[in-house]
Amino acid sequence: MVDTKVTLCGITLDNPVIPASGTFGYGYEFAELYDINCLGTFSFKGTTREPRFGNETPRIAECPSGMLNSVGLQNPGVEKVISEELPKLAKVFNKPVMANVSGFSIDDYVYTTELLAAQDQVGWLEINISCPNVHGGGMSFGTDPCMAADVVKAVRMTTDKPLIIKLSPNVTDIAGIAKACEEAGADGISLINTLMGMRISLRSRKPILANTTGGYSGPAVLPVSLRMVYQVYDAVSIPVVGMGGISTAEDVLEMMMAGATAVEVGAANLTEPFASKKIIEDLPRVMEKYGITSLADIVGQAH
């Protein structure tokens, strides 16, 4: 009998599989298809202080082995998430959920984190620092160790719940940024967010996305995400949540051997709604195939 349990920042998960933010809504839509309590947990849709319509359409472009998206953090705002979305989720999901927080200023992050952290349903706060700093010239918070640390320090003051900082891969030294987040008080690191990319229509001779560029995700990014998780695992002593290109149980094992305590599944949920469920169901078979009795034992084994 294999053991799929892992512990993420002090909270035990039945398995390490976590649908990634932006690919699983607020959960209850998927609960119409299957019992989502089979998941380790999930990270709900990126939530901001104010409601956001998102970017203009088209927002999605297909790519070989993946997709581009420029949805633009469309969400109803934190207060409606708390008053409307979380009560619906509570009817179908009885485990702690991961709240994904986005913002465009430190005040935004503090406001949204404080409100979400006060909700009993929320087990972890996943702080997405890939957002542009509107008070800092538009540069992403996550591209500079000092700016990343400033966000972590500020939100750390609002809650004792685990803070997992989600990093952008569009940097030259992701390990340095992860280390700065750890020193500022982060309890964990999640990576990678999407890679920047674009497509051009040969008919219109213009970018396909209305926003010109978007985030690239899908199976093709797995070697990049594995490399970055491997580097960050060596740089920090806090748990790492790995994501980027995960679509099979084998991918989960590979990511955990690179250093991930848990694994988020993103784009696969958009092309196959049952993707996360199927990965979880297949994990015991693949573990037995490779002689693995406990998933917790393989974290970082590739080092």
Per-residue pLDDT band at 130 (split at 50, 70, 90): confident
Instruction: Give residue 112's Cα distance to chain centre.
Output: 17
Per-residue pLDDT band at 289 (split at 50, 70, 90): very high
User: Residues of the chain with pLDDT > 90: what percent?
Assistant: 94
Per-residue pLDDT band at 276 (split at 50, 70, 90): very high
* 60 part of a folded domain: no
Residue 133 has pLDDT above 70, yes or no: no
The DSSP symbol for 82 reads I
Position 136 scores a pLDDT of: 64
Specify which residues 265 forms β-bridges with: 19
* 272 part of a folded domain: yes
Per-residue pLDDT band at 131 (split at 50, 70, 90): confident
Contacts of 191 (CB under 8 A, 6+ apart): 166, 167, 169, 174, 178, 225, 228, 229, 232, 240, 241, 242, 243, 244
Give the pLDDT mean for 276-299.
98
Give the closest residue to 106 by CA, choosing from 133, 130, 145: 133
Residue 139 has pLDDT above 70, yes or no: no
Position 20 scores a pLDDT of: 97
The DSSP symbol for 84 reads I
Residue 103 has pLDDT above 70, yes or no: yes
* 211 part of a folded domain: no
| CATH code for the domain of 225 | 3.20.20.70
Structural contact between residues 59 and 71, judged by C-beta atoms closer than 8 angstroms = yes
Which of the residues are catalytic? Answer: 131
DSSP 3-state of 89? helix
* 59 part of a folded domain: no
Position 137 scores a pLDDT of: 62
Position 54 scores a pLDDT of: 87
Residue 12 has pLDDT above 90, yes or no: yes
Per-residue pLDDT band at 134 (split at 50, 70, 90): low
* 152 part of a folded domain: yes
Per-residue pLDDT band at 146 (split at 50, 70, 90): very high
* 66 part of a folded domain: no
* 191 part of a folded domain: yes
DSSP 2-18: -B--EEETTEEESSSEE
Q: Tokens for 228?
A: 């970055």
As a whole number, the mean pLDDT across the chain is 95
Per-residue pLDDT band at 204 (split at 50, 70, 90): very high
**Phi and psi at residue 115, to the nearest 5°:** -70, -45
* 204 part of a folded domain: no
CA dist., res. 251 & res. 255, Å (int):
6
Residue 93 has pLDDT above 70, yes or no: yes
Per-residue pLDDT band at 140 (split at 50, 70, 90): confident
For residue range 156-168, list pLDDT tens digits in order.
Answer: 999 999 999 999 9
Residue 72 has pLDDT above 70, yes or no: yes
What's the number of domains the chain is made of?
1
For residue range 49-59, list pLDDT tens digits in order.
Answer: 999 998 999 99
The domain containing residue 182 runs over which residues? 6-54+76-197+216-298
Place of tokens 């472009």: 61
* Burial class for 162, CB neighbours closer than 10 Å (0-12, 13-18, 19+): buried
pTM score: 0.96
Q: Tokens for 38?
A: 């089979």
Residue 33 one-letter amino acid:
L
Give the pLDDT mean for 262-269.
97
